[in-house]
Structure 1
Amino acid sequence: MEPLRIDAGELTADEIIEAMRDGRRVVVTADLFGDERELTLRHDGETFYCDTPTRLHKHTEEAEMRACIEKMGYAREE
């Protein structure tokens, strides 16, 4: 399945998580430290991953992933 490519703020956290739950990787273009960078959000059925240029975050709960997506500005506000 082709990754879903978005710009930060383009989709809501619900839309991002729904795509991840459907098995899609979500590649987000975001401003990180003054540069445009791509990061990948994914879900393997048990764990949510946020793979940034500087580190890999893991979340076991959907609520944790949602909070990370919102805190980092990857989603638009609902």
Structure 2
Amino acid sequence: MAEPLRVEAGELSAEEILDALLDGRRVLVEVEMMGETRQLSLRHDGTTFYCDTPTTLHKHSDAEEMRTCIEKMGYAKEA
């Protein structure tokens, strides 16, 4: 299994994050939540994309849904 890719929110583009996920890597993103730095996990199991935050688990059925989530939640740098 590949080493997780560790990034800060806004460091990579949504496309770079998706490329890593599709290559089988888990992406660990550091974000500011409620005044604290938290880590969330983005992953893909070959079928479903997952966004596992400290408060909830989001599931997405395709790359476009995942891209929308990544951009909406501010995990990627703005285009």
TM-score of Structure 1 vs Structure 2, range by shorter chain: over 0.9
TM-score (norm 2): 0.95
The gaps in structure 1 that reach 5 residues or longer are none
Alpha-carbon shift at residue 77 of structure 1 (Å): 1.3
How far residue 6 of structure 1 moved from its aligned partner, in angstroms, is: 0.1
Residues 6-63 of structure 1 deviation map (CA, whole Å, 9 limit, x = unaligned): 0000000000000000000000000112211000000011100000001110000211
Task: Identify the residue that residue 50 of structure 2 maps to in structure 1.
Answer: 49
In the alignment, the residues of structure 2 paired with residue 42 and residue 27 of structure 1 have an alpha-carbon distance, to the nearest angstrom, of 9
Measure the CA separation in 2 of the matches of 1:67 and 1:41: 13
The corresponding residue for 1:10 is 11
Pairwise mapping of residues 1-78 of structure 1 onto structure 2 (< 5 A)? 1-78=2-79
Large movers: runs of 4+ above 4 Å: none
> Which whole-Å CA distance do the structure 2 matches of 1:33 and 1:66 have between them?
24
Report how many residues are paired: 78
Q: Structure 1 length normalisation: TM-score?
A: 0.97
Root mean square deviation, CA, Å? 0.6
Structure 2 segments unaligned to the other structure (5+ residues): none
